[in-house]
Amino acid sequence: MSGRKFCVGGNWKMNGDQKSIADICKTLSSAPLDPNTEVVIGCPAIYLMYARNLLPCEVGLAGQNAYKVEKGAFTGEISPAMLKDIGADWVILGHSERRAIFKESDELIAEKAQHALDQGLKVIACIGETLEEREAGKTNEVVARQMCAYAQKIKDWQNVVVAYEPVWAIGTGKTATPDQAQEVHAFLRQWLSDNISKDVSASLRIQYGGSVTAANAKELAKKPDIDGFLVGGASLKPEFVEIINARQ
């Protein structure tokens, strides 16, 4: 046993309305959730307060993005201070959709992460390679580059969870095999040991994300360096409970 608490995040992305969110919160409130798993829900910003009032209090709440400063003339953005103010305690940063669609750079994402941590939020810091990068044999190089950018800004890793999400596995139904995921997680563990510290390497939780379902979660959860999941599509369905309980 690693001593790292299993941590499962649900990333609802830009999905849901008041009715469907109430339904999911009801499912999560009535189901037996493994007390040894930390659960975090990444909710669309506009529904964060609504979800906070409906979710069990032991379930954490995350924004899916936040800007790198506290306040000001940044139309359309929200800040970590605002997330904290309405009862969110986490933020997901660097998701591949933010990187690809909204052109967020490694540097901007790292700046956002450090600011969120400074403001007292916990951060799910996403990384992951595209199919093209994997096929070119560049997976380790890409995730190391993304980790380096975070490491340039992040001084204290205590409130950080890294989510390794191969882009080719996100929303595609093509999950990385447990061995493929473990291989990259082990590489990241070694990278942390070599570039940050042995303590951070031993204690930092690394989630796997990419088409995780109730059907594949148990096998993935057996791998020694997989400390949880970041789940998109399946987090909107009742099977999310089985994913939370994958270690049972």
Q: Is 232 in the site for ligand PEP (CB under 6 A)?
A: yes
Q: To the nearest whole angstrom, how small is the minimum distance from the Cβ of residue 102 to ligand PEP?
A: 14
x/- letters, 9..28, toward ligand PEP (CB under 6 A): --x-x---------------
- The residue within the footprint of ligand PEP, chosen from 56, 120, 171, 238 (CB under 6 A), is 171
Nearer to ligand PEP, 24 or 200 (CB): 24
* Residues between 102 and 161 with contacts to ligand PEP, criterion CB under 6 A: none
Catalytic residues, by residue number, are 95, 165
**Closest CA relative to residue 209, chosen from 120, 95, 99:** 95
**Closest CA relative to residue 187, chosen from 153, 231, 246, 142:** 142
Q: To the nearest whole angstrom, how small is the minimum distance from the Cβ of residue 209 to ligand PEP?
A: 4
- The residue within the footprint of ligand PEP, chosen from 38, 165, 227, 239 (CB under 6 A), is 165
CA distance 16 to 242: 20
Q: Is 80 in the site for ligand PEP (CB under 6 A)?
A: no
Nearer to ligand PEP, 209 or 228 (CB): 209
**Ramachandran angles phi, psi of 65, nearest 5°:** -175, 155
- The residue within the footprint of ligand PEP, chosen from 40, 147, 231, 246 (CB under 6 A), is 231
For residue 29, give the amino acid letter. S
The residue of the chain with the least Cβ separation from ligand PEP equals 232
CA distance 233 to 214: 11
Please identify, among the stretches 62-70, 116-124, 165-173, 240-248, the one whose residues bind ligand PEP according to the rule CB under 6 A. Answer: 165-173
Nearer to ligand PEP, 98 or 115 (CB): 98
Q: To the nearest whole angstrom, how small is the minimum distance from the Cβ of residue 123 to ligand PEP?
A: 15
**Closest CA relative to residue 7, chosen from 48, 59, 57:** 59
Residue 119: partners with Cβ closer than 8 Å, 6 or more residues away: 70, 79, 80, 81, 84
Q: At what angle do helices 178-195 and 139-153 cross, to 10 degrees?
A: 40
Nearer to ligand PEP, 16 or 232 (CB): 232
x/- letters, 179..218, toward ligand PEP (CB under 6 A): ------------------------------xxxx------
Residues that bind ligand PEP (CB under 6 A): 11, 13, 165, 170-171, 209-212, 230-234
